[in-house]
């Protein structure tokens, strides 16, 4: 059974700092990995999707990497801002049909002024 772990569960950093969020998964036979952002009381916003054949994806100040063989992904946020404060979730798509995702429990990020 695929298990997805995100460490740390919570993180507080000063504004302007570069930071890395971690995601690990137990079964390397994944199709892709997706990073989401969730604001309190809101739905999930897709940030980046990395196919299993890719090593990284970039969008603005965000960079996500994938090392499928070691079962790890990182989300790098450059020059953090208070508006980046949210919970960040990673999810892996298992093989087979249906595009079913297994989610981690998230890292709650707070960027302080």
Partner 1 sequence: DAGITQSPRHKVTETGTPVTLRCHQTENHRYMYWYRQDPGHGLRLIHYSYGVKDTDKGEVSDGYSVSRSKTEDFLLTLESATSSQTSVYFCAISESLTSLENEQFFGPGTRLTVL
Quick one: which of 21, 23, 25, 34 contacts partner 1 (CB under 8 A)? 34
Residue span 72-91 as binding mask against partner 1, x where in contact by CB under 8 A, dash where not: -----------------x-x
Pick the closer one to partner 1 by CB: 46 or 58: 46
Minimum gap (Å) between residue 19 Cβ and partner 1: 21
93 touches partner 1 by CB under 8 A: yes
d(CA 65, CA 68): 10
d(CA 108, CA 105): 10
d(CA 27, CA 5): 12
- ∠ Cα 106 83 18 (to 5°): 70
43 touches partner 1 by CB under 8 A: yes
């Amino acid at each position: 059974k695929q298990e997805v772990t995100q460490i740390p569960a919570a993180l507080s950093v000063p504004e302007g700092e570069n930071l890395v969020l971690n995601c690990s998964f137990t079964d390397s036979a994944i199709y892709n990995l997706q990073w989401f952002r969730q604001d309190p009381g809101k739905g999930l916003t897709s940030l980046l999707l990395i196919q299993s054949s890719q090593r990284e994806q970039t969008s603005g100040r965000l960079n996500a990497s994938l090392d499928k063989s070691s079962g790890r992904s990182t989300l790098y946020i450059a020059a953090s801002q208070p508006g980046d404060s949210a919970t960040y979730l990673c999810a892996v798509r298992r093989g087979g049909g249906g595009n079913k995702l297994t989610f981690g429990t998230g890292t709650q990020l707070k960027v302080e002024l």
